Chains A and B, each alone.
Chain A
Amino acid sequence: MTIWKQRIIAIASILVAAGLVVWSSPEARPGYEFPRMVAWTMLVLSAVLALMAFKPGKVVIPADIESVPMRIIWPMLVILAGMAYLAPRLGFLSTSFLVFVATALVFSPDRLGVRRIALVVAIAACFTVSLYLLFVLLLGVQLPRALLF
């Protein structure tokens, strides 16, 4: 299975590098020499990677591939995307509070009860207040305020 994953990575790498070569080669436009050199280097390296992955015979490859636990991490990806979407609309501080609460509750290995939820909300509130003190009052960062705070 690992060898097939290595082969897929090699092919994906070639496709990305080839895309960058094409993108770095606009017709008769100066200023693209170095990006083109880098993209070609990447393409050559990817080709060697593919050559090693598709080499006939018994191939021993570094054990550097782990499967992506999408089943576990997808809620965090949703939380991060939600943060990116909501922060300019709801406000940075309120979204931060929600992100902390959501992460702590979704990934808690323990069973959720009222006490646990109250504890998480209290910790998230303390954390958000600390952020406000640190960034807004101490460092003078002007956070974009929106619907909430």
Chain B
Amino acid sequence: MELLTYLPQVFSGVNILILVLGTIIGLLLGSMPGVSPTMAVALLIPFTFHMDSTAGLILLGVIYASTVAGGAVSAILINIPGAPANIATILDGHPMARNGRATEALHYCFISSGIGGILGVLVLIFFTPPLAELALRFGPSELFWVAILGVTVIGSLGSTSVLKGLIAGAFGIWISLIGFNPILGTERFVFSGHLQGGISIVPALIGLFAIPQVLYMVESAWRGQTGEQFQMEGRSIWQSVRYNLRRVRSLSLGSVVGAVVGLIPGAGGQIAGLLAYDQDKKFSGHPEKYGKGEPDGVIASESANNAMVGSSLVPMFSLGIPGSPTAAVLLGGLLIQGLFPGPDLFTQHASVVWTFLGALLCAQILLMVFGLYISSLSRFVIGIPKEYMAGAVAVLAIFGTYSVQHSFSDVLVMLVLGTGMYFFMRYGFSPGPVVLGIILGPIAEENLLQGLIIAPALDGPMPYFFTGTINLILIGLCVMSIGYSIYSELKIRSRRRAGERAGGAPEA
């Protein structure tokens, strides 16, 4: 098996150093409230420019996995989730801390994260190559629909409002088209010298995820929102390991739910954690204990959100459709290194991909070990004032953006996009669809134009793009993702309406 062939490379030279340091840094970054995995991965992309593609990819993947796990620290200790994926962890993790069981909750969190994460990476290892083989049959029309599917899925599933998600996705595609037409080479929409050559992925990624976060951080610093922190009790790690391994139902339910949710593009860790928590509560013999400090709640949600990490990379590596916003940023990192998702990745760049998968598997074990031993240190990281964090992130965003192409225009683009996104976020738009639009827009256009060139020699553009099994399946999936999101949105609205009727509060 290829994984075993390339596994020794994980432990060679700089890779092992990046694996270890990346895990520790990721755990610490994740434990800081306000530093989301997406922002952490986006901020670190510029560093990967100075590494070979294997090391760069390992750094991004390891940071993704460990920041999701580290996010539980602030969720448990100060009732603020480090990442949206840790929202479900708050429900029982924080009550455990209030009951004087903070260390115990952190132990369960890291053990479950590691176990769930291993299952997620195994799903990634076994599902990606066959799916990538399928992508061999894709021509320009299929690739066009894959790109559109990516945007519709993230746009519809990853946002509060389907329409706003789709509008944001379309806007992202449109701004990605600034610069040159890929076939004719003509310049378009360049109204400023700073936009010559178009909008690069890195400034867009950093700006859209880091700058709004800076503004949110200064807001909470101004309001003095620090949360209530709890003391850590002394507890044996082995006692926690023994108890955790005995909770087979919560562990397996969380891991399986997380792995399955991760496979659905756009669903994300937040849904994985909440769904696993809900299911575990339903299957429990004592559901009344949930929400009051039940360890099973922490185990189910944490195993789910880390199982989601590995499996969310399956559609990204095989088809180029990211399973979560962080996977979308990782896709940007992949493209920047000159690696394109699909079967070629496993044939032409087998060494890079299999070493990365091996490293991600090892990272799950490392984050479990480091998490258990450094969880007590995390409380110091949580204590870093938000105003310092905001200043540091703003400066890092500017340095990171500049270091990629040594272009000050990139810095300006990053600042403008980021500041604009903050205002859009306040009005219900998410950065995820915009970023995916920016990444997938050029792919969609190139394949559309190539298809339009090929089509007259075949049956014409309409049959070329709208017939054929794969085309029809992809179009069906686009319609299904939008249809399902509209259905969910209407359901939520009807629930709110019912709630308002019961409460008697007027809406507008």
Interface residues of A (CB under 8 A from B): 1-5, 9, 13, 16-17, 20, 23-24, 29-35, 38-39, 41-42, 45-46, 48-49, 52, 58-69, 72-73, 75-77, 79-81, 83-84, 87-88, 92, 96, 99-104, 106-109, 123-124, 127, 131, 135, 139-144
205-228 of chain B: CB within 8 A of chain A = 211, 214-215, 218-219, 221-224
- Of the candidate stretches B328-336, B373-381, B398-406, the one touching chain A is B398-406
Q: List 10 A-B contacts (CB under 8 A).
A: A1-B508, A23-B189, A39-B170, A49-B164, A64-B164, A76-B215, A80-B394, A104-B385, A131-B395, A135-B399
Tell me if B167 and A45 are in contact (CB < 8 A): yes
The minimal Cβ–Cβ distance linking B406 to chain A, given in whole angstroms, is 6
- Of the candidate stretches B78-86, B283-291, B491-499, the one touching chain A is B491-499
Closest B residue to A143 using CB positions: B402
**Interface residue? B419 (CB, 8 A):** yes
Known interface pairs A29-B186, A64-B160; 17 further A-B residue pairs with C-beta atoms within 8 A, sorted by A's residue number = A13-B167, A30-B181, A31-B184, A32-B181, A48-B163, A60-B493, A60-B494, A68-B423, A73-B422, A76-B390, A87-B411, A100-B388, A103-B218, A107-B386, A139-B47, A140-B50, A144-B408
A92 to B444, alpha carbons, bound, how many Å?
37
Tell me if B399 and A92 are in contact (CB < 8 A): yes
Tell me if A139 and B403 are in contact (CB < 8 A): yes
Residue from the list A9, A84, A102, A104 in contact with B427, Cβ < 8 A = A9
A124 to B170, alpha carbons, bound, how many Å?
40
The minimal Cβ–Cβ distance linking B44 to chain A, given in whole angstroms, is 12
Interface string of B430-455 (1 = CB under 8 A from A): 00000000000100110011001000
311-335 of chain B: CB within 8 A of chain A = none
Chain A residue contacts of B398, Cβ below 8 A = 83, 87, 92, 96
Tell me if A104 and B218 are in contact (CB < 8 A): no
Residue from the list B219, B427, B496 in contact with A73, Cβ < 8 A = B219
Interface of B is mostly: helix
**Interface residue? B412 (CB, 8 A):** yes
A80 to B395, alpha carbons, bound, how many Å?
9
The minimal Cβ–Cβ distance linking A50 to chain B, given in whole angstroms, is 10
Interface of A is mostly: helix
Pairs of residues from A and B, 7 with the lowest C-beta to C-beta distance, nearest first: A64-B428, A103-B391, A3-B508, A31-B181, A100-B391, A107-B387, A42-B170
A132 to B184, alpha carbons, bound, how many Å?
43
A96 to B394, alpha carbons, bound, how many Å?
9
Chain A residue contacts of B167, Cβ below 8 A = 13, 17, 42, 45-46, 49
From known contacts A30-B186, A103-B218, infer whether A38 and B508 are also in contact, taking CB-CB under 8 Å. Answer: no
**Interface residue? B426 (CB, 8 A):** yes
Closest A residue to B214 using CB positions: A76
Closest A residue to B489 using CB positions: A62
Tell me if B184 and A30 are in contact (CB < 8 A): yes
Chain A residue contacts of B508, Cβ below 8 A = 1-4, 59
Tell me if A88 and B448 are in contact (CB < 8 A): no
**Interface residue? B349 (CB, 8 A):** no
Chain A residue contacts of B50, Cβ below 8 A = 139-140
Chain A residue contacts of B497, Cβ below 8 A = 58, 60
From known contacts A3-B507, A34-B177, A108-B387, infer whether A72 and B224 are also in contact, taking CB-CB under 8 Å. Answer: no
A55 to B332, alpha carbons, bound, how many Å?
39
Chain B residue contacts of A31, Cβ below 8 A = 181, 183-184, 186, 188
From known contacts A34-B445, A107-B386, infer whether A72 and B219 are also in contact, taking CB-CB under 8 Å. Answer: yes
Q: Which of B177, B186, B222, B449 has the most CB of A within 10 A?
A: B222
Tell me if A42 and B171 are in contact (CB < 8 A): yes
Tell me if B222 and A109 are in contact (CB < 8 A): yes
The minimal Cβ–Cβ distance linking B298 to chain A, given in whole angstroms, is 28
Tell me if B170 and A38 are in contact (CB < 8 A): yes
Residue from the list A3, A99, A144 in contact with B391, Cβ < 8 A = A99
Residue from the list A46, A59, A61, A108 in contact with B385, Cβ < 8 A = A108
A147 to B408, alpha carbons, bound, how many Å?
17
Closest A residue to B499 using CB positions: A60
Tell me if A38 and B173 are in contact (CB < 8 A): yes
A148 to B188, alpha carbons, bound, how many Å?
38
A38 to B147, alpha carbons, bound, how many Å?
13
A99 to B426, alpha carbons, bound, how many Å?
24
Chain B residue contacts of A17, Cβ below 8 A = 167
Tell me if B391 and A5 are in contact (CB < 8 A): no
Tell me if B415 and A84 are in contact (CB < 8 A): yes
Chain A residue contacts of B392, Cβ below 8 A = 100, 127
A67 to B423, alpha carbons, bound, how many Å?
9
A32 to B326, alpha carbons, bound, how many Å?
31
Tell me if B427 and A32 are in contact (CB < 8 A): no
Chain A residue contacts of B161, Cβ below 8 A = 62, 64
